[in-house]
Amino acid sequence: MENSQEISGSEQAAVLLLMMGEERAAKILQYVDYEAVEKIGTAMANIKQVDSGRAFTVCNRFREDLNNHTPLGIGVPGYVRNLLVKSMGEQTGSTLADRLLGDDSPRELDSLRWMDPDTILHMLEDEHPQIIAITLAHLDQNLASRVVAKFDSSLQEDVLFRIATMDKIPEAAMQQLQATLKSKLDLSANFKTKTVDGATTAAGILNGLDSDTEARILETLSKTDETMRQRLEDLMFVFGNLADLDNKGMQLLLREVTSDQLAIALKGADELVREKVFSNMSKRAKEMLVEDMESRGPTKLSDVEEAQKNILAAAKQLADDGKISLGSSSDDYV
C-alpha cells in the first residue's frame, strides 16, 4: 500500500478532486488561489489513471484527518488552517485559510487572482502608483511579484515603498480602486476600509523577485527610509523559510548553531522546519535534540524568538558568503 506521506499535497488534492467529478471539483476550486490551482492542475494533468491502491491511500488519509478532529465544530478553524497549510504550503495555505476563515479579500479584487501577470500589468500600467500599490497589496504575493517584475525600475521602487508603508487604506482610495476595476473589468462592489500589513506584504513581494531587482529596490528604499529597508530585510526571510533550504544548505547551517540554540528555536517552529532539521541529522543527534526539547518544558516566547533570530543571522551570513542560497535566488553553488 502506498504511503500517503509519499504523495505530495497537490497530488492528493488532485486525486480527491478527480474522484469527486467535474461539478463538485469546480465548486471546490472556486475557493483555491491561482498558484494552488496551477499546482493541482499540473498534478491532475500528470495523472494518467487513479488505481485503487492510490485512491484508497488518499481517501484513508483524508478520513483519518477528519476522524482526528471533532465533528462538533470545536477547533474546526484551527484544523482547517493546519490542513490547508500542510497540503498547500505555508504561504498558499495561509492565504486560503484567511480567505475562508476571515480577513478575506473583496470578491472583485479576488477575481484578479485568475489573471496572468501580463493582463494585470496591462490593466494597471496607466494607473497612479498608489492605485497600483493598493491592488498589488490585495493579490497573492507570488502573483504580485510576477507583476512587479514587469514594471520599470522606477515604478518598482515607488510601488514597493507605498506598499511597505501601508497601514489602513482610506475609503476614498478604495472607492477610486473600485471605479478603476469597474471601468476595466465591469465589476462592482462595496469596498470598505481594510487593514493591511504593508511591510510584510512588501517583503513577500520582494522575496519573489530576482536577487538583482530585490537588491536594487532595497538600495533605493534605504536612501528614502533606512529603517523601513531594515524592517523589510528582517521580514523577507523568516524562520519558517528554513524548510526551503536544500539538504546541503541545512547541513552547513547546523554546523554553525549550537544544540542549545536549536532546541529552543525549534520549540516554536512549524512541523516542516522540524522535519527539515531532523532529516539532516544523524539518528542519535536527532534523539538527543528531541530529548533536550522535551526536557525543557514551557519556554518563553522571547527566548524562542531570540534563538530563531540568531539562527537566521547565521543563515544570512552563510548566504552572504555564497555558501547557501536563501529566498528566491535561483543561483546554484558547487
Establish if 326 belongs to a structural domain: no
35 and 80 co-located in one domain: yes
- What is the per-residue pLDDT for 198? 81
How much is the pLDDT for 210? 74
Residue 330 lies in a domain: no
Same domain, 127 and 228: yes
pLDDT value at residue 38:
78
Q: Do residues 189 and 204 both lie within one domain?
A: yes
Give the separation between CA 152 and CA 90, rounded to whole angstroms: 30
| pLDDT at residue 110, rounded to an integer | 60
Summary mean pLDDT of the chain: 77
Q: Which residues contact 298 (CB under 8 A, 6 or more apart)?
A: none
- Count of structural domains within the chain: 3
Q: Which residues have C-beta within 8 Å of that of residue 230, sequence separation ≥ 6?
A: none
| Contact indicator for 221, 160 with CB cutoff of 8 Å | yes
Q: How confident is the model at residue 276, as a pLDDT?
A: 93
Please report whether residue 265 resides in a domain.
Answer: yes
pLDDT of residue 11: 83
Query: Does 12 fall in a domain?
Result: yes
CA distance 78 to 182: 36
Q: Per 3-state DSSP, what percentage of the chain is helix, strand, and coil (rounded to 5)?
A: 70, 0, 30
Regions of the chain short of the pLDDT cut 70: 1-6, 33-34, 50, 63-114, 182, 184-196, 327-334
Domain stops at, among 101, 134, 165: 101
Q: Are residues 161 and 195 in the same domain?
A: yes
- Domain shared by 278 and 226, yes or no: no
Q: How many CA atoms lie within 13 A of 10 on its CB side?
A: 16
**Which is nearest to 11 in space by CA: 72, 82, 62, 68?**
62
Which set of grid coordinates corresponds to residue 124? 494597471
In this structure, the answer to whether residues 72 and 138 fall within a common structural domain is no
User: Which pLDDT score is estimated for 95?
Assistant: 62
Q: Are residues 269 and 229 in the same domain?
A: no
Report yes or no on 291 lying in a domain.
Answer: yes
The confidence score (pLDDT) of residue 114 equals 67
> Is 79 part of a structural domain of the chain?
yes
166 found inside a domain: yes
Domain final residue pick, 182, 208, 236: 236
Interval 135-148: pLDDT, tens: 888 888 888 899 99
Same domain, 244 and 159: no
Q: What is the CATH number of the domain that holds 170?
A: 1.10.220.30
Residue that terminates a domain, selected from 179, 209, 236: 236
**In the prediction, which pLDDT does 186 show?**
57
Specify whether 67 is located in the same domain as 125: no
333 belongs to a structural domain: no
134 is in which domain, residue-wise? 107-236
Residue 280: the pLDDT is 94
